[in-house]
Structure 1
Amino acid sequence: MSTAVHSAPADPPRVEPVRIGPVGLPRWSLGWDMLAWSARYLLQPDGPDAGRPWRFTPEQARFLVWFYAIDERGKFTNRYAVYRRLKGAGKDPLASAVSSLEFVGPCRFGGWRADGTPIVVPHPAPWVQIAAVSRDQTRNTMTLFGPMLSRKAIEEFGIDLGKEIIHSRRGGRIEAVTSSPRALEGGRATLVIKNENHHWIGSNSGHEMSEVIARNAAKSRDGASRALAITNAHEPGEDSDAERDYDAWLSIQAGRSIADGLLYDSIEAPPDTDLADPASLRAGLIAARGDSIWLDVDRLVAEIQDPRTPPSMSRRFYLNQVVSAPDGWLTAPEWDACADPGRVVEDGETVVMFFDGSKSNDASGLVGCCVSDGHTFVIDAWEKPAGPAGEGWEVNRDAVNLAVRKAFGRWDVVAFYCDVREFEQHVDLWRDEYGDRLLIQATTGQRAHATAWDMRTRVREFTAAAERTLVDLADRALSHDGDPRLRRHALNARRRPNRYGVGLGKESRNSDRKVDLIVCAVGARQARRDLIASGALLKRRSNRTGRVWSF
């Protein structure tokens, strides 16, 4: 009788995670002294190492050092931080450790040492709030303080452990707060932990809570009151507080917002992680968990492969990926897998372009597509700025015209499709100025026009172009420049069935989540296909060389 021997699955090839966050280390930080203090006074609150001295993982320590980075004046460089990780990666223990440091540990600038390093002192009146939209969420963090604060800390700082409020001898406190924006108004907390703010939405007063927390922090006497959000990956389109954080970070990265002081830290699985391929899935999970090595990969694989677990949930909670809403036009992994930011569009390269314009509400964009390989890239975009700067904003038409002129001066533009609505005059001017350089006309027939491509009358063509773009993305037959503005617009797009197939559009008519750049990208790729089908490029090459080139 033979006995089968089952061996553990071999470790998959290592893959690099997608990392969001600052590079390197800050010049000055209070975090180094805080790390040393936590090792003396804090304990591991749970797990097999419960009761042993607390140790931040390298990723957590790096985050702490950046969160407590200061400038030459001793002021914090980051006023708000987001720590996004997969489920079970230790977000609550990290939040409890940071809260403990704010409560009774060194956490504020106290001058400079002779060697140029900062002196770190306790806050004179610490007030830490653990905020959430439900009592159960605050409990996840509050229950960790008892086992985390060592007996030495309790005795030395006179800590009184309560279930919802924790006091210290010198008057500091930690308290749990839930969905009561009015009760929060006017508070002067020194640190607010926004727990699981992917659950903070309009219907549970989550947005009101977040706004009150921001107002309270802004009026702090020393300007050092801050908030830290701990979250899983949000669901796009739900308009959660976590999604607004992510959109704000994207706006800053794209240069659409002049705001600063937002620290966003995330590690997620590579976009091409295949849930159906065990090796790819294991590699993606190992990448996403980072140094949270206590997470059992086999157990996570089992949860993901359970037919009751939707793929979108698996990607959000276990791979830490931001995936599209159920009616999303495409997913983030599909889009990100086709990014090729290293592809340089050389001066003089033959390209086609698509322009979609708006006066004030929607965005305006100019996107190019290389004829040689279909690489799609953002030439320029104009979006209403966020916040007060957007009041009364209108697109600068001179800037748009200048961008078009520069594009024609830099590249060999052989087709230029323009949606005409709200830019009719400019579209005609571009026809007159550049029409003789274009190899195909945007509109043919009785109403032929070199540049006008009116989307109101081209629903059939645009729907087919949108469907073809999705096929190209799935087949990796499309590359793009990875522009964060284009990515945001692509992920904002929703499936819009019509009598010709499935097109794309905004989530609602008045939505602030724009899609204009992905419309331009789809249109530019359609212009390239039309150019190739026309044979005009082959004729030009034949006329120039006397030979017929294959394409």
Structure 2
Amino acid sequence: MASIGAPALLVQHDYSHVVEWYRHHVPRAAPPTYGRFVPERIGPTWDWNAERGWNLPEHTLGWEVLGWTGYWLKDANGQPWQWTMEQARMLLWYWSLDDTGRVQHPTVTWQRLKGHGKDPLAAGGVALPSAFAPCIFDHWGDDGQPVGRENNSAWVQVLAVDQDQTKNTLGMVRVMLTDACRKYYGIVTTTVTCRGMNGSRLIEGVTSNPLSIEGNRTDTIIRNETQNWNSSNNGKGLAEAAEGNRAKISQGRSLDICNAFRPNDESVGQEERDAWEATQDRPELDRAATFIDVGHLYDSLEAPPDAPFTAEAFVEVVEAVRGDSYWIDPVTARDSALKGTATPSEQRRKWYNQIVATDDDWMDRQQWDACKGDKTVDDSERIAMFLDCSKTDDATALMGCRLSDGHVFTIGIWAKPTKKRKPEPGEAPWMVSRPAVDQRVREARERWRVVAFWCDPSGARDDETGERFWDSYIEDWRLLFGNSLTRLPAVKTGPYAHPIIWDMRNPIHTQLFVAEAERFVSEVKDKRLTHDRNMLLRAHALNAKRAPGKYGVSLMKKHRESAKKIDAAVAAVGARLMYHQLNAKPQQGQFAPGRGRMIARR
């Protein structure tokens, strides 16, 4: 990037009228109207309410960029380029700044359906402005808004795993440039490059070889179609090299443009979505842990989970998820999608922008999202709790189930950070904090009426004492709860009788759990179960794979060493098992039904 002390560029071409046009029209754009199918709106672009109107950034260089593009760029008919209101909002957020003038979102992902116009948006709204527009913060104006300057040594890379993908974006660069823009900035283009200002500024297309970009000091990186980037085509290596390059530059930027990913591909697109989701709504994690906003803006417009893939519904669904991309003809798209040349799941991915479960997934993403319920459970509610314990690699999860209706909610999840570095020699590996779990159990007892509490303790041992890792805490909890757990003890009779310990390795328990896991999936499918929308619980449920076995279909990790944990889902199944067992038992006391009697009338 240009040095911090570089002077602001004197504006020699006046496009203030274009800026004012956008400033007038963007806030006043009509709010969205939907029919039967209201899309899932992720990110700020489609965030609107009647009291505030559109959610727009407080500080952004985007207004200047919108004006610059309207002045210097053209459409296919030679007319001044004009963004849709949706695209304008996307660019305002891409170019947003914080209160100090720093880039607010160094990493941005735009996920949209097929044909939305992501390449023109990346080419004209990001690549060209990054190279030639006043897009670097210089100072605050008299009106309190940021004033930009050009980047005199701009280097923009458009990355893809297929050369045709880079040609798509670079092709749009060439098409959008006016003759006046070429002349003023001295722009020379080839199939995969765009140079200007005597070669001091560069936009280039790069494909799969990570070694070709290793160590580059690139200001802006555009990663094209990341749902197709995986290990087999060097996409993973390319992504790692690009991220390393971006991190070298103060306030370097990265933009991903993609469609919905295929869950089993383990693509860069999936990793980015999973990483973003892992930063959302995580109050359930160990309160001793510290999490920061890493500046990742994810923006997507997706069909609702219950949108049917039928000829009757298709047009209405696509009209809802295409946003302002009026050039997408839903009827033509429907006829193409229903020809049967691709699977319904693949067509949903392309046209509904949905992430669709594969055959070995335990839980369907859309079905899970359709079961959203209360985020919190009122104090003093009667609940059952299930604790799935671990020590190091796996997560420890404490899930609750409200006995009045079976609503599943998160009490606590303790998990090793997904990208935690390997410990140095002599440094202890990450280990769950037992005191933190103990505190959460005690808080739950104080807050709710805990009718039953089961715990699968795992077979882990304490490194110092050799005792079972959780035994001392479980004994403390037995004493803490006293006689309050007699309604549904974990093991009622026999040599292993215990109010709390419910060891899943016991064959009887395994059989019960597998049956409940099958019922859990059926209840989600039929919308007879609700959950608290917790993003980490959701991730664990979607990570789980089907595990056919002796007693039926349970859930498991993809493989033993997989970093994608499922423990919160396991604990949720356990909590629902307790709920169903409690409902099957005759009740006593205040919440018991009447004994009933027959009255004969004569």
Over 3 Å counting, the alpha-carbon distance change for 1:326 and 1:44 in structure 2 is: farther
User: Secondary structure of the equivalent of 2:80?
Assistant: coil
CA contact (8 A) 1:542 1:548 kept: no
- Aligned letter for 2:57? P
Match of 1:8 in 2: none
Quick one: which of 371, 386, 390 aligns to 1:338? 371
Match of 1:455 in 2: 504
In structure 2, how many angstroms separate the alpha carbons of the residues matched to 1:28 and 1:208?
A: 35
Over 3 Å counting, the alpha-carbon distance change for 1:390 and 1:65 in structure 2 is: farther
Once the 2 structures are TM-superposed, how far is the Cα of residue 540 of structure 1 from its aligned partner? 2.6
Quick one: which of 60, 71, 81 aligns to 1:29? 60
In structure 1, how many angstroms separate the alpha carbons of the residues matched to 2:173 and 2:37?
A: 36
Once the 2 structures are TM-superposed, how far is the Cα of residue 283 of structure 1 from its aligned partner? 2.9
Match of 1:91 in 2: 118
In structure 2, how many angstroms separate the alpha carbons of the residues matched to 1:455 and 1:282?
A: 48
Match of 1:247 in 2: 274
Q: Alpha carbon RMSD of aligned pairs, Å?
A: 2.0
Match of 1:350 in 2: 382
Match of 1:17 in 2: 39
CA contact (8 A) 1:288 1:319 kept: yes
CA contact (8 A) 1:435 1:450 kept: no
Quick one: which of 465, 484, 488 aligns to 1:440? 488
CA contact (8 A) 2:418 2:563 kept: no
Q: How does 1:4-403 map to 2 (within 5 A)?
A: 13-22=35-44, 24-45=55-76, 50-97=77-124, 98-170=126-198, 171-220=200-249, 223-255=250-282, 257-276=291-310, 278-279=312-313, 281-341=314-374, 344-388=376-420, 391=423, 392-403=429-440
Match of 1:408 in 2: 445
Once the 2 structures are TM-superposed, how far is the Cα of residue 261 of structure 1 from its aligned partner? 1.0
Once the 2 structures are TM-superposed, how far is the Cα of residue 299 of structure 1 from its aligned partner? 2.0
**For each residue in 1:477-515, what CA deviation from the matched residue of structure 2 results, as whole angstroms up to 9, or x when unmatched?**
111111111111111111110011111111111101111
User: Secondary structure of the equivalent of 2:473?
Assistant: helix
Over 3 Å counting, the alpha-carbon distance change for 1:146 and 1:277 in structure 2 is: closer
Over 3 Å counting, the alpha-carbon distance change for 1:304 and 1:541 in structure 2 is: farther
Once the 2 structures are TM-superposed, how far is the Cα of residue 148 of structure 1 from its aligned partner? 0.9
CA contact (8 A) 1:542 1:549 kept: no
Once the 2 structures are TM-superposed, how far is the Cα of residue 305 of structure 1 from its aligned partner? 2.5
Once the 2 structures are TM-superposed, how far is the Cα of residue 300 of structure 1 from its aligned partner? 2.2
In structure 2, how many angstroms separate the alpha carbons of the residues matched to 1:103 and 1:542?
A: 70
Query: Which segment is superposed worse, 434-443 or 13-22?
Result: 13-22
In structure 1, how many angstroms separate the alpha carbons of the residues matched to 2:389 and 2:479?
A: 19
Once the 2 structures are TM-superposed, how far is the Cα of residue 428 of structure 1 from its aligned partner? 3.3
User: Secondary structure of the equivalent of 1:398?
Assistant: helix
In structure 2, how many angstroms separate the alpha carbons of the residues matched to 1:265 and 1:367?
A: 30
Quick one: which of 568, 576, 583 aligns to 1:532? 583
In structure 2, how many angstroms separate the alpha carbons of the residues matched to 1:162 and 1:402?
A: 63
- Identity across matched positions, percent: 39
Over 3 Å counting, the alpha-carbon distance change for 1:277 and 1:411 in structure 2 is: farther
Query: Which segment is superposed worse, 323-332 or 29-38?
Result: 323-332
Matched, 1:493 2:544: yes
Over 3 Å counting, the alpha-carbon distance change for 1:352 and 1:182 in structure 2 is: same
In structure 1, how many angstroms separate the alpha carbons of the residues matched to 2:580 and 2:471?
A: 25
List alignment gaps of at least 5 residues for structure 1. 1-10
In structure 1, how many angstroms separate the alpha carbons of the residues matched to 2:473 and 2:422?
A: 24
Q: How does 1:480-519 map to 2 (within 5 A)?
A: 480-519=531-570
User: Secondary structure of the equivalent of 1:368?
Assistant: strand
Once the 2 structures are TM-superposed, how far is the Cα of residue 390 of structure 1 from its aligned partner? 7.4
In structure 2, how many angstroms separate the alpha carbons of the residues matched to 1:377 and 1:442?
A: 20
- Aligned letter for 2:503? D
Provide the TM-score with structure 2 as the length reference.
0.84
Over 3 Å counting, the alpha-carbon distance change for 1:485 and 1:167 in structure 2 is: same
Once the 2 structures are TM-superposed, how far is the Cα of residue 27 of structure 1 from its aligned partner? 1.4
